[in-house]
Amino acid sequence: MKTKTKVILIGVLLAVIIVPASIFGVKHYQPKENDFTGIKLPSAPAKTPVKNVNTDVLNDEKKWTTNFTHDGAIIKTDGWYYVFSTDYMVGAPPTPGIQIRKSKDLIHWNFVGRVFEQVSQEAWDWTHGTTFWAPNVIQMNGKYYLYYSVSEVGKRNSYIGLATSDKIEGPWKDQGAVIKSKEGDGNTVNAIDPDITIDKSGQPWMVYGSYFGGIFITKVDKNTGKLVNPNDQGTLLAQRKDMNAGIEGPEIIYNKKTGYYYLTVSYDWLEDTYNVRVARSKNITGPFLDYNHKDMIDPGDDSFNTGNKILAAYSFGKDPGWLGTGHNGLLQDGENYYLIHNARTGEDKYWSHLHVRKMVWTDDGWPVVSPERYAGETEQRVIESNLIGEWQQIVLNRFDDAMEGSTKPQLLANGEIKNGKRKSQWKLTGKNTLQLSIYDPGVAPKDYWNFTVKVIPAWDWENWRGTLVFTGMNQEGTVIWGKKIINK
């Protein structure tokens, strides 16, 4: 056989062997977009998708679960999680009394009942209010202390009262006023929205206030549960310009690992633009500063840009989404932290639900929350192949409190982000830490928004399946959320 013929035959033979092998190899080793290798995804929180608007439960409290929860406060005791919340109902006037719900897992909630059937004579005489607002509950001295609000809508004629009980589900005994406010009393605080926080030395404090003069903190007598000085409104912690710039629903939690106290407040209107902001301080009495070192006492025109916005009205894809995402509660449960809040469905903003979200911490000690409601997930190690594919992404704009919609970036196997702009990159830098460099020439500092986010498993409530999400901040303290889309 001629040499030239041999070469041709060998070439053909190699092509027959190598080309299919190469094709097979590419197909075999190419990362899958739905790869969850090594990830334990949460189970479905219910047998079928939960209805956000369900008129069938209106008159059956046993089926309320998360429905009609507003201004919730959370406590864990005796192996149960309890949420106490404002009188609230849609379609009919609420039955007076602070609502109580309980859960074993923060996912499945049972309606327990109410505290009281009507406001006290003292609270009525002071405010002419007929319902209870924004309770808070804490365990001290071997019993439970329940703080509640009664107020005249739109005025500072307000009343914070105290009830006590030996059992978390009652019966409760009213102990009278803790602090009261009145139009023309010489103070600025509005006496509602109490939260009791115990500092690192064991001293209890009450942080409170809504609209009007801002958020204040004052010392609590640990033996009585009443204020050490009931005639002093306390120390101002946070303030906005006026009634058109709402601020309310304060909570404080201490993180021993970071050494900071974290103050959360809700901005704007409870039916739609409600959003949660956070700042921190080494001292419980402040000053509380945000990521950009701005003091939460900001009565200027720029107060809309104060505080890290970690939760806001949002919609993933074509889902109606959620409005009024505010008035949060905070819970530390061992090493885990959670944020609860009320949220109103985009289908009908008068239907309010209890949402529970896992809170995670950035590497520089800031709390951020999952973009999806809690379903039992834990932080886990992720690998690059888990992340490749299409995502839905939401940026929580600090300057605009309208509902945020999502975009659809794609994380490519070569480390690029396909988002309509070249040069955007992603990189996994830790156990579950992801760096996103979003190219935005002429707008971002040095043309890039650099987000550092935590990746965690989650339940995709909109599409009813397990997935991965991310949450974190950029170099200016703006929060970004992401959710991986599962292709069928």
Catalytic residue from among 71, 174, 319, 460: 71
Candidates 174, 193, 248, 319; catalytic one: 248
Q: Are 398 and 374 in contact (CB under 8 A)?
A: no
Catalytic site includes residue 71: yes
The pairing of beta strand 133-140 with beta strand 158-165? unpaired
Select from 53, 82, 88 the least CA-distant residue to 345.
53
Cα 79 to Cα 335: distance, rounded to the nearest angstrom: 16
DSSP label of 164: E
167: which 2 tokens?
């059992």
**Would residue 416 show up in a list of annotated catalytic residues for this protein?**
no
Q: Which amino acid is at 76?
A: K
Strand-by-strand arrangement of the 195-198 sheet: 195-198, 204-208, 215-219, 235-238
Give the Cα separation of 175 and 390 in Å (integer). 56
DSSP labels for 402-414? SPB--B--EE-TT
Nearest partner of 343 among 330, 353, 334, 333, judged by Cα: 353
Strand partners, 247: 267
Contact criterion met (CB below 8 Å) for 217 and 207: yes
Q: Which residue has the tokens 């956070």?
A: 278
Task: Report the distance separating Cα 395 and Cα 387, nearest Å.
Answer: 19
Those residues whose C-beta lies under 8 Å from the C-beta of residue 224, and which sit 6 or more positions away, are: none
Q: What token pair was written down for 243?
A: 């009634």
Residues for the chain: how many in total? Answer: 488
Contact call for residues 201 and 254 (beta carbons, < 8 A) = no
**3-state SS, residue 447:** helix
Q: Tell me the C-alpha to C-alpha distance, in Å, between residue 452 and each of 77, 389, 437.
A: 35, 19, 9
Which positions are annotated as active-site residues?
Answer: 71, 248
